[in-house]
Structure 1
Amino acid sequence: MPSTVATKPLGKNGPLVPRLGLGLMVLSGMYSTPGSDAERLKFLDDVYARGSGTLVPLPPPQFRLCPTNLAPADEYKDSEDLIGKWFAANPSKRKDIFLATKFAIRQDPDGGHQGLSVDSSPEYCKQAIKKSLSRLQLPYVDLYYVHRVDKKTPIENTMKVMVELKNEGKIKYIGLSECSADTIRRAHVVHPVTAMQIEYSPFCLAIEDPKIEVLKTCRELGIATVAYSPLGNGLLTGTLRAQADWTKPGDLRGALPWLQADVFEHNLGVVDRIGELAKKKGVSPSQLALAWVLKQGDDVFAIPGTTKIHRLDENLASLDVELSEDDEKAVRQLAKEIKGGRIQDLTGYAFASTPPLENGSA
């Protein structure tokens, strides 16, 4: 573990938060059968404990120098319920946690992933925050993301209700995810957007594309970039070696283009060559990949997920990995050889835009 966990402002006017947070999709069983509540609550205890000892708390209203930048979502099975149980057992620790959650992806009744729909309407936003706060057993969340835009609701209308939630004290900061540069700009006119959550890793550079301009737009507006799947859904860890590694009960990665039979062996070769670079630096492939993401700028944050505390420690140690410009370019060059596009491109909602506001005002 690093002696301190680096913090940076989350966006132009946002709070100081750890540059490395913890995504909770994996903990809720999106890649495997979830552990028991007792096991997962113990894991969260251990996560919080990483903020004690050599890691010194910041004075209010800042946040503890620890990996307690947590990101569940209403769509991630029981992640909000689990966090709610943890907070109920540890109410005094709420002040040390920067908590983000999301809305807009609606789960089908049986809790599976067939028949998911996107709804970023004001009506559903109000329903979703009420349910999220109930599950979390909290009066507010620090950051509330629009998980996806539905391509039907003008973003101005969604932002208007988000501002209402902020004024009511139910959320502190507003975030977006997987939307177009134009939608980001229009949203920011209504109210400053604090963070844009988007897939970003050596294998996924779409936000840098000059035709997409998401990273450029965020930097122009002072919006933080929060990188989800910074380890390529586990591929960049080097631990996915055969189909059996991602076909366990509950693992949803079988649909990933990178893992399909016709390209996997090629992609594994790319991963192994990146692993050789990591070995030369005396770090793990995961640490090299996370250091690469953080190398992209102080306005970039990463939220890798894990269910194992030794993996969390490994990830935290990436904060001490120093990459030269040549190191960054070497990883980038190798990663260009990966085959298979983004899974998000198959959903129809990657970098989605919203229709214009007909009457010109929200």
Structure 2
Amino acid sequence: MRKINLGSQGFEVPVQGLGCMGMTTIAGGDIYGKADEKESIATIHRALELGINFLDTADLYGPLLNERLVAKAISGSRDKYIVATKFGFEVDDNEQLTWGFNGKPDYVRKSIDRSLQNLGTDYIDLYYLHRLDPNTPIEDTVGAMAELVQAGKVKYIGLSEVSAETIRKAHQVHPISAVQSEYSLFEREPEANGVLDVLKELGIGFVAYSPLGRGFITGELKSPDDFAADDFRRSIPRYQGENFYKNLDLLKEIQSIAAEKGITPAQLALAWVASNNVVAIPGTKRIKYIEENAAATEVTLTAEEKQKLESIVPIGAASGTRYEASQMEWVNV
């Protein structure tokens, strides 16, 4: 599989990774429907066989359960995997989410030791700040993350869902290797808010989560009622009521292009992300889909096809926001 550099520090990863979030619950609720641990672990193993050894998890997921599942999957083969995890959503000593943010230096040190234990490893390849703590200067948080690099606990550091201004401030303290944000044909805000521009300027890599629009682009969802009762996508305005059907109309045009190329809409969407020199981390917990996603790395788009796709869903064309109002305050800060 083609490799790509994240940042300017020599960090090389496959052009596609695997998002592990859906393999466990968060605070007792399912994310994308029920998950089976045995099948999830088998999916991680199959991903490695396909050249997808870049795994994305976080202490938020579970909380902590997801890191422990990843630990089971990579046990005995740690050196074959590139592991990224995140911190910043505060998890207390009882392993409960407080739903506050904590980027204080002492919490950074506490979080890394807990993640190392949960993952059964003595180092993390890529350690992200999951969300910015509005009460702690980014310079303080990144300064503490830099200490983890010096201590050998972390190889590279990253940020998630931050603004161009925050990226600049952070990068002055210690080189940032990667910034992660939601990015797909239906979510192109990083192109408009200056994030992609500053990443290019500073030589920082970009990692796209939800490159399939949280499963919407697969075309398997026909109505908002297709979500399970506890599926968190029910709370997302983009997939509610009239917004869902407006976006479905746009998706039908994408599906027709995919059909002409003899590939699935998901593969077309992943090929589009890859064409922007971006690492995609589509999430799945099933072997069937990791195989389908991996095949997308073989798809090449012509300039005409790329332009046509971008004209179907121009920047800002998707109906509805990607998070509910309160959570929109957590991104691009």
Instruction: Verify same fold: TM over 0.5.
Output: yes
> Structure 1's 301 and 344: CA in aligned 2 closer, same or farther, altered over 3 A?
farther
Distance 1:313 1:9 in 2: 23
Report whether the alignment pairs 1:48 with 2:48.
yes
Note the alpha carbon deviations across 1:107-144, whole angstroms, 9 max, x for none: 5899888x622111112111111111111111111000
**Number of aligned residue pairs:** 323
Are residues 246 and 110 of structure 1, via their aligned partners in 2, closer, same or farther at CA, if it must alter by over 3 Å? farther
Q: State the TM-score, normalized to the length of structure 1.
A: 0.85
Instruction: Give the equivalent residue in structure 1 for 2:313.
Output: 335
Which residues in structure 2 correspond to 1:208-227 (within 5 Å)? 208-209=191-192, 212-227=193-208
Specify every segment of 5 or more residues in structure 1 that has no aligned partner in the other structure, as ranges. Answer: 51-65, 353-362
Query: Which residue number in structure 1 is paired with residue 177 of structure 2?
Result: 194
Structure 1 window deviating more from structure 2 (41-50 vs 18-27): it is 41-50
Task: Return the letter of the residue paired with 1:268.
Answer: L
Query: 2:260, 2:270 → 1: CA distance?
Result: 16
Instruction: State yes or no: 1:235 paired with 2:216.
Output: yes
Change (3 A) 1:222 1:344: farther
- Other-structure match for 1:101: 85
The answer (yes or no) to whether the contact 1:344–1:350 under 8 Å persists in 2 is: no
CA distance in 2, matches of 1:116, 1:289: 32
> What TM-score, normalized to structure 2?
0.92
- Partners of 1:110 and 1:317 in 2: CA distance: 42
SS at match of 2:179: strand
Instruction: Say which SS state the counterpart of residue 233 (structure 1) adopts.
Output: coil
Flag structure 2 segments of 5+ consecutive residues without an equivalent. Answer: 26-30
The amino acid of 1:73's aligned partner reads A
Aligned match of 2:261: 281
Give me the whole-angstrom Cα distance separating, in 2, the residues matched to 1:105 and 1:344. Answer: 17
| Matched-pair contact (CA < 8 Å) for 1:156–1:186 | yes
Runs of 4+ in 1 over 6 A off after TM superposition: 108-113
**Identity of paired residues, percent?**
38
Q: Which amino acid aligns with 1:226?
A: V
- Relative distance call for 1:346 and 1:291 in structure 2 (3 A) is farther
**8 Å Cα contact 1:81/1:135 also seen in 2:** yes
Equivalent residue, structure 2, for 1:68 = 53
Of 247, 259, 267 in structure 2, the residue corresponding to residue 267 of structure 1 is 247
| Aligned partner letter, 1:12 | S
Pick aligned residue for 1:155 from 134, 138, 141: 138
How far does the alpha carbon of each residue in 1:315-346 deviate from its partner, in whole angstroms, 9 at most, with x for none?
Answer: 11111111112211211111134211221764
Q: Residue 86 and residue 17 in structure 1: after superposition, are their counterparts in 2 closer, same or farther (change >3 A)?
A: same
123, 140, 144: which one aligns with 2:127: 144
Q: Quick check: 1:108–1:116 contact (8 Å CA) kept in 2?
A: no
